[in-house]
Amino acid sequence: MSQNNVVSIAGVDYDSHSGLPVEKKAAAVQKELIRTQAVAAKGIHKSHQRSTALNRKFVTKSAKPAVSKSASQIHVRSMDMRRPVKRSPHISKFAREPQAVQAKRTESHAAHVAHPVVAKAHASIHKSHIAKPASQPTARDIKHAAMGKALANAKSVDHTSKQPKKRAFNVAAASLGVLLIAGYFTYVNMPNLSVRVAAAQAGIDASYPEYRPVGYRLNGPVSFQDGQVSMNFASNSSSVAFALNQSESNWDSSALLEKYVNPRSKGNYATYSDAGLTIYTYGTDAAWVNGGILYTVEGDASLSNEQIRRIATSM
């Protein structure tokens, strides 16, 4: 208790609200607390009530017939998990309890009826097997019979006799094609082959020039003698010609100039160098050496210096 609620008069403390001395009030409060606790304890320790439940030992069970539940009732009970409550018959607001109804199965033994399409097909097959009365053959039947008889009596054509002829023709055509191709290549390479044959007969390494002046052709066979091969080229438009000679020699360019060119040209010559070769030209003639072979050009054909150089470098 706070000091504000206490008033002291003549040395005695009084409660400012109740006017009672503080000591008496405390004693009254303590007494009320004790009484309350006693009442509460008496209520808690009250004796138990005697059980009024039936003694199962002396109660007999009533005999009830076993009722088999239908599948529909079990299904309804399994779907509704609530405890069933019996309703009063006086309540008409709600619907009645659902009753299980067992559907009766009826088996029909109707006779099999064929489909109309199947019946029609069977009828057509049956009609086709019925023998038709003999009738006069039509023109179409006569024609088919005649064709069948002719095909039966026709002799089979022997195709095997034509196969050898066809095979022989194919072989001959292929051989002719090969001969034509070989002949063409032989004609093109005939000058080169002729030079090779002549070089073998002469015993020197002669060759046919890869470059030939335009308007000139190889005229006549390649001639040869011991250590020398010669070929003549004639013009296609005039009577001028020139001869290309190849002979074995051990000269070099200086010896060629001193022993061959100077005596023939009398000092009137021109010198050209191309591809490591030294070529001497004088008038319509020319000369050069290469690999131990002396090459000379002689004739009345007016070949240019460019044509002479191209002949020399193509050998």
pLDDT at 275 over 90: no
More confident site: 141 or 295: 295
- Long-range contacts: 305-311, Cβ < 8 Å, 24+? 305/270, 305/272, 305/281, 307/213, 308/272, 308/279, 308/281, 309/272, 309/274, 309/279, 310/211, 311/209, 311/211, 311/212, 311/213, 311/244
pLDDT tens digits, 188-212: 667 778 888 888 888 888 888 889 8
Q: What is the mean pLDDT of residues 8-21?
A: 72
pLDDT at 152 over 90: no
The pTM (predicted TM-score) of the whole model is 0.43
User: Looking at residue 229, what is its pLDDT?
Assistant: 92
| Angstrom distance (rounded) from CA 113 to CA 115 | 7
More confident site: 141 or 75: 141
The DSSP result for the chain, as a single string, is --GGGEEEETTEEEETTT--BHHHHHHHHHHHHHHHHHHHHHHHTPPPPPP----GGG-PPPP----PPPHHHHHHHHH--SPP-PPPTT--SSPPPP---PPPP----PPP---HHHHHHHHHHHHHHSPPPP-PPPHHHHHHHHHHHHHHHSPPP--TTHHHHHHHHHHHHHHHHHHHHHHHHHHHTHHHHHHHHHHHHHTS-----S---TTEEE-SPPEEETTEEEEEEEESSSS-EEEEEEEE----HHHHIIIIIHHHHTT--EEEEETTEEEEEETTEEEEEETTEEEEEEES----HHHHHHHHHT-
- CA of 281: how far to CAs of 269, 285, 312, 315, in Å? 6, 6, 12, 17
Domain spanning 204-313, CATH class: alpha beta
Q: Beta 241-248 vs 270-274: how paired, if at all? A: unpaired
User: Looking at residue 144, what is its pLDDT?
Assistant: 79
Q: What is the mean pLDDT of residues 10-25?
A: 70
Candidate from 17-21, 141-145, 269-273 with smallest mean pLDDT: 17-21
Contacts of 44 (CB under 8 A, 6+ apart): none
The residue count of the chain comes to 315
pLDDT at 60 over 90: no
User: Looking at residue 146, what is its pLDDT?
Assistant: 80
Confidence band, pLDDT 50/70/90 cuts, at residue 33: confident
- pLDDT above 70 as % of the chain: 61
Confidence band, pLDDT 50/70/90 cuts, at residue 76: very low
Contact 278, 288 (CB under 8 A): yes
User: How far is CA 201 from its chain centroid?
Assistant: 66
User: Looking at residue 281, what is its pLDDT?
Assistant: 92
Q: What is the mean pLDDT of residues 290-296?
A: 91
Q: Closest Cα to residue 23, out of 38, 33, 8?
A: 8
pLDDT at 86 over 80: no
Q: Beta 241-248 vs 277-282: how paired, if at all? A: unpaired
Q: What is the mean pLDDT of residues 51-59?
A: 60
| Angstrom distance (rounded) from CA 34 to CA 27 | 11
Q: What is the mean pLDDT of residues 72-89?
A: 57
Contact 290, 277 (CB under 8 A): yes
pLDDT at 109 over 90: no
- pLDDT above 90 as % of the chain: 18
| Angstrom distance (rounded) from CA 212 to CA 197 | 20
pLDDT tens digits, 132-151: 555 677 777 887 788 787 77
| Angstrom distance (rounded) from CA 119 to CA 134 | 28
User: Looking at residue 289, what is its pLDDT?
Assistant: 93
